[in-house]
Amino acid sequence: MARAGIENAMSRIVLFNKPFGVLSQFTDARSPSPRPTLSAYVALPGVYPAGRLDRDSEGLLVLTDDGALQARIADPRYKLPKTYLVQVEGAPTDADLAPLREGVLLNDGPTRPAQVQLIAPPVLWDRDPPVRFRKSVPDRWIAITIKEGRNRQVRRMTAHIGFPTLRLVRWQIGDWTLDGLGPGAWRDTTPR
């Protein structure tokens, strides 16, 4: 397993494939009706997510027991790349994606330039519930890599260029990937 190069040899590191609809936390004290949390999937004491994924996003979360590592993974100063597979509404061309490569101005300031490309539909698990399908509106997949992580940033970036996100899967953080992990599955990669 490739390592991100920022972890302490004593840190516990768990890779988790967060399903759609699951909160990126272990408890949900704010809601009167319970919502699924990490505790339904990961029963390891002392690990916490390094960064977040929105409830309606899927994919890789790194869990660790090392607070300093959590901060380094989430902090844009460390420029740890995060790659997302994104299904967008519409049929963007490479030229349509060009503004993302330069950085776009969102309501909370300009984004850093992203790496972005059109890709073939990836082989992924079925999402529950499925993404809405409309015969009259095409959709395409893009891969986008950013080195920051503002709230709903990728969704806001694709909407900014006129192609709203339908499905968002974080595939990679640094050298850690979802390879071999189905939704709700986790793998302990702690160095032994």
pLDDT in tens, 12-65: 999 999 999 999 998 887 767 778 999 999 988 899 999 889 999 999 999 999
To the question of pTM greater than 0.85 for the whole model, the response is yes
Q: Please indicate whether residue 54 is annotated as part of the active site.
A: yes
Three-class secondary structure assignment of the chain = CCCCCCCCCCCCEEEEEECCCCCCCCCCCCCCCCCCCHHHCCCCCCCEECCCCCCCCEEEEEEECCHHHHHHHHCHHHCCCEEEEEEEECCCCHHHHHHHHHCCEECCEECCCCEEEEECCCCCCCCCCCCCCCCCCCEEEEEEEECCCCCCHHHHHHHHCCCCEEEEEEEEECCEECCCCCCCCEEECCCC
Which one of the listed residues 28, 54, 66, 128 is annotated catalytic?
54
What percent of the chain has pLDDT above 70? 94
Could you give the domains of the chain?
13-76+174-188 (3.30.70.580), 81-173 (3.30.70.1560)
